[in-house]
Amino acid sequence: MTNSVAEIPSELKRVIDVEEEKDKKLVQFANKRKVVMLAIIASYVPARVSPARTESAYVGISEEFGVETVLSQICARPEDSSIPTYLLVNSSGGAVSSSYKTAKAIRDCFKKITVFIPHIALSGGTLLALTGNEIMMGTMSQLSSLDVQIVYKDTLVSANALLRAKGKLDKYFAETRVEDAPYTMKTMADSLDPTIMEEWTGAQETAVDYVHEILQKSGYRNAKSIARKLVYELTTHGYVIGYEKAKKVGLKVIPHTCDLEAWQMMRYWLGKYMIKAADRHFIRCIMPSQKETVQKEK
């Protein structure tokens, strides 16, 4: 990874935010543990892109190219990709396809991944977290449902909302004749567009396939069952999956108390970037052989 930033084409630097981490404390920790450390961090402070508009980090093209830039250099040396990896994720998610491609690239590059979630890994961020052979969670750690969000009447809604509405109508009209149904129920039934329903159902099944694949690559034997739970069975997209619920879902989670030193180090790493205004994820990497040459923070 030495001089990797200098090797990034200037045009690509405008799209991504990728750097070697120079913090002495973090570099020393990676060297002591002999681990690759990779961070994908979304700030809680949006970047102002115009006088009237701000944008927050979102898993998309920037993250695809950013992670590819890091992994292309690590995976070029098989001895590096076989080193245990600590992956820090803090993200509210983003595009389904970008989240899947990024997660797959990470999972395919490394053999043993421990994921750390000091705070949030939501939606597509949850998919990134599932790349871990184990996921370390603490008191405020949160994963979320992986149901697909669809634009509907100028807002985002879960594809599950339409499927649940159809289920309720099917049950109602199984017991009630159409001519006996109140106007509201008839209107609701008439408003269901079968083409849209097929599209949304397809999107959900695609999500199941993506989640299933990542879980399989991460060593889950019951990957299909867990994938369906995460896509279909939670009540809302923002449903809080903490440590205990993650364990019940079947995820390979471990408590932060298993390794307090590593946990505190990841919280420290998150703290360096979580309030720096940005419209893309900070992607930072440390190789265990990286020299401890440190630049002071400005």
Q: Are 60 and 282 in contact (CB under 8 A)?
A: no
- Better-scored residue on pLDDT, 89 or 288: 89
pLDDT at 57 over 80: yes
Q: Alpha-carbon distance 115 to 128, whole Å?
A: 9
Q: Alpha-carbon distance 238 to 251, whole Å?
A: 18
Average pLDDT over residues 175-200: 77
Q: What is the pLDDT of residue 215?
A: 98
Q: Are 35 and 289 in contact (CB under 8 A)?
A: no
pLDDT at 293 over 70: no
Q: What is the pLDDT of residue 5?
A: 46
- For tokens 């669809």, the residue is 150
Strand 149-152 to 53-55 pairing: unpaired
Please name the helix (run of DSSP H) or strand (run of DSSP E) that holds residue 120, with its range, or none. strand 120-121
| Start and end residues for every CATH 3.90.226 domain found in the chain | 4-144+240-286
Complete DSSP assignment for 20-51: E---HHHHHHHHHHT-EEEEEE--SS-EEEET
> Which of 290, 285, 287, 288 shows the shortest CA–CA distance to 41?
285
Q: What is the pLDDT of residue 1?
A: 46
Q: Encode pLDDT of 97-117 as tens digits.
A: 999 999 999 999 999 999 999
* Banded pLDDT at 79 (limits 50, 70, 90): low
pLDDT at 76 over 80: no
Above pLDDT 70, what percent of the chain? 93
What is the pTM for the complete model shown? 0.88
Contacts with 106 (C-beta within 8 Å, 6 or more apart), sequence order: 38, 67, 71, 87, 113, 128, 131
Least confident of 55-59, 180-184, 259-263: 180-184
Fold of 4-144+240-286: 2-enoyl-CoA Hydratase; Chain A, domain 1 (3.90.226)
The angle formed by the CA atoms of residues 196, 175 and 166, to the nearest 5 degrees, is 15
Q: Encode pLDDT of 2-19 as tens digits.
A: 444 446 777 777 889 999
Average pLDDT over residues 66-89: 86
Cβ neighbourhood burial of 81 (10 Å; 0-12, 13-18, 19+)? middle
